[in-house]
């Protein structure tokens, strides 16, 4: 890949990679750092990586960097989990996007990541398996479990409106 192709990749994928990281980490600065690290790794290996596989490389690199960060800091175990049902019962609370985001943040990290890759970023199951290093069947199971969790946590849309 040459410099022009690298710049094109930055233009094409920087925003979607940042959105994915922000949804996964829920921390702006960490998301920016991870995205920057992913693009730095891509540049360092730009001669070995083809233009066509750069998107997959970026998302894989960012995903693994996020996993490493959480393992190192063990933040997943220490996160405060607020029961979502308390918020759903108030009449004043009506922002569906915020409700969905809170529910997504309650998901285990791997389920949240694969769900975001599938439903927010539009990746195919095979691509998600390649990015995360999980088997295809495990990706499908995680997505299914995440959707069931969200359905049970949020309930029906009619109940929220």
Residue 147 in this model has a pLDDT that exceeds 70: yes
Mean pLDDT over the full length of the chain: 83
Please tell me the number of Cα atoms within 13 Å of 124 on its side-chain side: 4
Whole-model pTM? 0.61
Residue 120 in this model has a pLDDT that exceeds 80: yes
Domains in the chain, please, with CATH? 1-79 (no CATH), 83-161 (1.10.10.10)
Residue 95 in this model has a pLDDT that exceeds 80: no
Burial class (CB in 10 A: 0-12, 13-18, 19+), 7: exposed
The predicted structure's pLDDT at residue 58: 92
> DSSP states of 54-119 as a string?
HHHHHHHHHHHHHHHHHHHHTHHHH-----HHHHHT-SS---HHHHHHHHHHTS-HHHHHHHIIII
- Count of other CB atoms within 10 angstroms of residue 43: 15
Query: Residue 133 and residue 131: Cα distance in Å, rounded?
Result: 6
Residue with tokens 């199971």: 141
How does pLDDT run across 57-90, given as a tens digit for each residue? Answer: 999 999 899 888 888 876 445 444 444 444 444 4
pLDDT > 90: percent of the chain:
45
Please tell me the number of Cα atoms within 13 Å of 89 on its side-chain side: 4
How does pLDDT run across 23-60, given as a tens digit for each residue? Answer: 888 889 999 999 999 999 999 998 899 999 999 999 99
Burial class (CB in 10 A: 0-12, 13-18, 19+), 76: exposed
């Amino acid at each position: 890949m040459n410099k022009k192709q690298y710049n094109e990749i930055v233009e094409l994928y920087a925003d979607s990679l940042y959105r994915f990281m922000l949804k996964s980490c829920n921390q702006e600065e960490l998301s920016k750092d991870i995205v920057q690290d992913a693009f730095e790794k891509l540049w360092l290996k730009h001669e070995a990586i083809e233009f066509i596989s750069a998107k997959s490389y970026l998302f894989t690199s960012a995903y693994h960097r996020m996993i490493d960060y959480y393992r190192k800091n063990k933040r997943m175990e220490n996160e405060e989990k607020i029961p979502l049902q308390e918020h759903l019962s108030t009449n004043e609370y009506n922002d569906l996007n915020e409700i969905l985001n809170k529910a997504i943040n309650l998901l285990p990290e791997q389920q949240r990541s694969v769900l975001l890759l599938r439903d927010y970023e539009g990746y195919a199951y095979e691509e998600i398996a390649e990015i995360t290093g999980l088997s295809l069947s495990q990706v499908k199971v995680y997505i299914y479990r995440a959707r069931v969790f969200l359905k049970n946590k949020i309930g029906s849309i009619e109940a929220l409106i």
